[in-house]
Structure 1
Amino acid sequence: MAFIEELGLTSDGKREMSVEEFKRWLKRFDSNGDGRIGRSEMKEAVRLSGGFFASWKSKRGVKSADSNHNGLVDDTEFRNLANFADKYLNITITS
């Protein structure tokens, strides 16, 4: 997977990226091009990151980041995904 090869790894084996890099990476899964990430798009990100239980994790991730409760993660909510990325996508978000 090309997107994994271009990312740096920390000493604990996690990929490390800034919030902006994380946004760009996650937006690769924006299948409808609306600039927001929905549950099915998040599911694909989890699945391609090697995660199990992608449906459950994607539902949990969107729900935890979606501060306006519209079912989508938009530009203002990407930072809310830092804990989710660390736990389920093996990505450490730096400031």
Structure 2
Amino acid sequence: MAIKQNTARSVNGEVTVEEFKEWLKRFDMDKDGRISREELRRAIRSIHKHFSGWKSSRGIQYADTDGDGFIGDNEIVNLVEFAQKVLGLQIVPY
């Protein structure tokens, strides 16, 4: 997934885990280093996936291992797995 360099910033093709993380950081609106449900919803919506509200809720449930309602750096691997399984994104290690 290539991350397009335009303002829409969509994820298509193949990306590395690091590229995915950098793309996701663009949606961290409060710059706290964590991804909230709303921020994840915006990211999902930006790649034109349907049911972004439902999918963002599921993504938080799937990836949030400490139960704080946010995806932190240590939980991003879980979110990568969710993005591959549920969103159909092609994310490679390097």
TM-score bin, normalised by smaller chain: 0.7 to 0.9
- Letter of the aligned partner of 1:80 in structure 2? N
Q: 1:3-42 maps to which residues of 2 (within 5 A)?
A: 3-4=9-10, 9=13, 16-42=14-40
Other-structure match for 2:74:
76
Task: Find the counterpart in structure 1 of residue 60 from structure 2.
Answer: 62
Would the aligned equivalents of 1:46 and 1:88 in 2 still touch at CA under 8 Å? no
How many equivalent residue pairs? 87
Aligned residue type for 2:28: D
**Paired residue secondary structure (1:20):** helix
1:50 to 34, 48, 61: 48
Q: TM-score, normalised by structure 2?
A: 0.82
Q: Which runs of 4+ in 1 moved over 6 A?
A: none
* Offset at residue 52 of structure 1 (A): 0.9
Q: Which structure 1 segments of 5+ residues have no match?
A: 10-15
Contact 1:62–1:71 (CA under 8 A) maintained in structure 2: yes
- List alignment gaps of at least 5 residues for structure 2: none
Aligned counterparts of 1:27 and 1:93: Cα–Cα separation in 2: 16
Distance 1:8 1:58 in 2: 19
Structure with the largest fraction of helix: 1
Shift of 1:88: 4.2
Shift of the alpha carbon at 1:8?
6.2
Q: Which residue of 2 aligns with 1:85?
A: 83
Q: CA deviation at 1:83?
A: 2.7
